[in-house]
Amino acid sequence: MDSMVGLAVVLTLLMAMTVTVAHQNRAEEELAARRAQARRLEGTLLAMQAGDATDKNAAVERLGDTAPAGMVWVRVSFADGPRSSLVGLVPATGTGSQP
C-alpha cells in the first residue's frame, strides 16, 4: 500500500514537472520571436533614418505630432509575427502615408 502511495506521489510530481518544462519552452519561443521582431523593427527604422531601402513588408504610418524641421514621426510595424510597433523620427522624404 505504501509503495502505491509513493508511486502516485512520484507520478504526480513527474506530471507537474512535465507541464512546467513545456510551459517554459513555449515562453522561451515567444520571447525569442518578440526579440527578433524588435530587432527587425529597429533595423527598419534605422534604415529609414539613414535613407536606405526598407523591408517591403513594413507598414509605415506617419504620425501628426510636432517634429523638428525636415523630420517626421513614424510608427513602423509588421503584420506578420508578434504584434508590436516602434515609433521614431525619420527624414520627411518618402516616409509613407500622410497623417
Model pLDDT, residue 11: 95
- The C-alpha atoms of residue 32 and residue 69 are separated, in whole angstroms, by 37
Model pLDDT, residue 55: 79
Model pLDDT, residue 94: 59
CA distances from 26 to 19, 22, 23 (A): 11, 6, 5
Examine the pLDDT at 98 and tell me if it is beyond 50: no
Q: Residues 27-86: pLDDT tens digits?
A: 999 999 899 999 999 999 999 998 887 778 888 999 887 888 889 999 999 988 778 899
